Amino acid sequence: NRLHATEVTSSSFRLLWPKLLSQETGYYTLEYAPTADLARKRSQQVSGAHTSLVLSDLAPETTYEVALIPESNVHYFPPQTTRVTTLAEEISPVQVLISDSGPRSFHVSWAPVLDSVLSYQVLYGPLPGNSVKVLEVDGRHNSTVVEHLAPNTTYLVTVTAIYRSGKEKSLSAKACTQEGERGE
């Protein structure tokens, strides 16, 4: 039953600790700093009634040293310390590019390609309308060809990155197929 972290993200985590103090018996001083740069220590005071606090605005993929110092006017409590490492940044696809558009197909590519992505889902469907098809693309690839389309039609294309952490981030673009040959 010690100081520990939960709900860790790339920029925040929640600290939980046992109830050592009460509103009347004192307060906590919380100090935290990146392990690699302890000079950048930040501290804040927390009411003795609290047993949890979210720290935010943290750097991604960084290990923090955290110390909880109970400032009691009744008993001495030793400081509790823990180490927490934030997650890698989950970046959404920044660009979706449509190219090589023909009457029945177009090419979709996206950037950046990230190690933290397990796979991409490419959703596409004609506008207006709600019939959507899905293509699964391996996370190592950053493009695919969408085929069997209707000529002279606007499509909404959404690329969703599915991260190893289970998170998903999406970005959409519009694509138009060319007019078909006469007599198709």
Domain boundaries, the chain: 4-85, 95-177
Local structure of residue 37 (DSSP, 8 states)? G
Examine the pLDDT at 184 and tell me if it is beyond 60: no
| pLDDT one-digit tens code per residue, 90-138 | 777 778 999 999 999 999 999 888 777 889 999 999 998 888 999 999 9
pTM for the whole structure: 0.56
Token pair in block for residue 45: 């005071």
Q: Where are the beta strands (DSSP E) in the chain?
A: 4-6, 13-16, 26-34, 42-47, 52-55, 63-72, 80-85, 95-99, 106-111, 117-126, 133-138, 143-146, 154-163, 168-176
Question: Cα–Cα distance between 21 and 48 in angstroms, integer?
Answer: 5
Which of these, 131, 96, 99, 139, lies nearest to 115 by C-alpha position?
A: 139
| pLDDT one-digit tens code per residue, 52-99 | 999 999 988 899 999 999 999 888 999 999 999 998 877 777 789 999
What pLDDT, on a 0 to 100 scale, did the predictor assign at position 86? 93
Do 4-85 and 95-177 share a fold? yes
Examine the pLDDT at 50 and tell me if it is beyond 80: yes
Which fold does the domain 4-85 belong to in CATH? Immunoglobulin-like (2.60.40)
Could you say which architecture CATH assigns to the domain 95-177?
A: Sandwich (2.60)
